Amino acid sequence: MPRPVTLFTGQWADLPFDEVCRLASGWGYDGLEIACWGDHFEVDKALADDNYVSDRLDILKRHNLEVFAISCHLTGQAVCDHPIDERHKGILPERIWGDGEAEGVRQRAAAEIKDTARAAAKLGVKTVIGFTGSSIWHTVAMFPPVPPEMIDAGYQDFADRWNPILDVFDEVGVRFAHEVHPSEIAYDYWTTVRALQAIGHREAFGLNFDPSHFIWQDLDPVGFLYDFQDRIYHVDCKESVKQLNGRNGRLGSHLPWADPRRGWDFVSTGHGDVPWEPIFRMLNSIGYDGPISVEWEDAGMDRLVGGPDALAFIRKLTQIEPPASAFDAAFSSKR
């Protein structure tokens, strides 16, 4: 049976939750990956009020939708980040930002991710998707020269901050799916290897596969799926396109999304360079049977066009499934 196709609500959090449910249901989505911002899913309210969770579930049921995962990208970013600055103030709830003192922000963010695991369990969800932040992302250019000890300390900082969080995930039977993404502790193939090593490959920590971040880095998303197949806990379908022409740089040149001078950009699913069919064939090969979540991002297309357009594109791919018998079985003389 084809996997359910869901809509990640993060880029729709300016709309009321009920309205996003109405749109997604009308387009034909099976469910949602619900963002923990806007009014979509508020962790503190979920833990403080039993009626809050039942209300969210009632809204979903009324629109014939299910929830398969919740996402805490924004708060997770602050757990390990250095520096903590006005960028974080812009994405964090006031109760997490507080007075803005960096270590206090990190500690409150970590406590919130623990609570997110508890809230997910209360909602009946087994997977939380998010970011980890990184104390060493600012060293990515390796200049001024970065001593190896500084990188070692960054992975140790990640382990020290996230192991206690993952203990809570284990306690409540929920898994964390880290999105491999620039600015995180794991942003490409080898940093993923090292991040998993840093936490002892514990099962509570896996990966949210989002190939859009692989394309502009010239990484192989299909090979990544094969090599990390036991850690693929969730799949987001987000798209990117390369525009490297000798003037446009891979690092984006501090230019806004949709600026034609960028070396790469996010576009609506199906309109870029992600090799979707090989990806779906590999998902079949590794036995991934979880939801496929559309994460729509495109500064050059209206989301009310992109939302249903991405769903139609992905629906065709979910129909690709292994046959009941090998195609060459008909050649057998014993038929």
pLDDT in tens, 221-255: 999 999 999 999 999 999 999 999 999 999 999 99
Domain ranges in the chain? Answer: 5-331
Quick one: 5-331 is in which CATH superfamily?
Divalent-metal-dependent TIM barrel enzymes (3.20.20.150)
Which residue, chain included where needed, has tokens 């064939």?
Answer: 281
Question: Residue 322 has what pLDDT?
Answer: 83
Pairing label, strands 264-267, 239-242: antiparallel
CB 258 within 8 A of CB 227: no
In angstroms, rounded to a whole number, what is the distance separating the alpha carbons of residues 208 and 127?
A: 10
In angstroms, rounded to a whole number, what is the distance separating the alpha carbons of residues 19 and 310?
A: 19
Per-residue pLDDT tens over the stretch 16-33: 999 999 999 999 999 999
Its pTM surpasses 0.85: yes
- Percent of the chain surpassing pLDDT 90: 94
In angstroms, rounded to a whole number, what is the distance separating the alpha carbons of residues 59 and 293?
A: 19
Question: Residue 298 has what pLDDT?
Answer: 97
Before 323, cis peptide (omega within 30)? no
Question: Residue 325 has what pLDDT?
Answer: 74
Q: Which residues of 286-324 are buried (b: 16+ CB within 10 A; e: fewer)?
A: eebebbbbbbbbbeebebeebbbbbbebbeebeeeeeee
In angstroms, rounded to a whole number, what is the distance separating the alpha carbons of residues 321 and 335?
A: 24
Which residue, chain included where needed, has tokens 């799949």?
Answer: 235
Question: Residue 182 has what pLDDT?
Answer: 97
38-43: long-range contacts (C-beta < 8 A, 24 or more apart)? 38/9, 38/12, 38/13, 38/14, 39/13, 40/9, 40/13, 41/17, 41/70, 41/119, 41/123, 43/72, 43/112, 43/115, 43/116, 43/119
Question: Residue 335 has what pLDDT?
Answer: 61
Q: Low-confidence residues of the chain, pLDDT below 50?
A: none
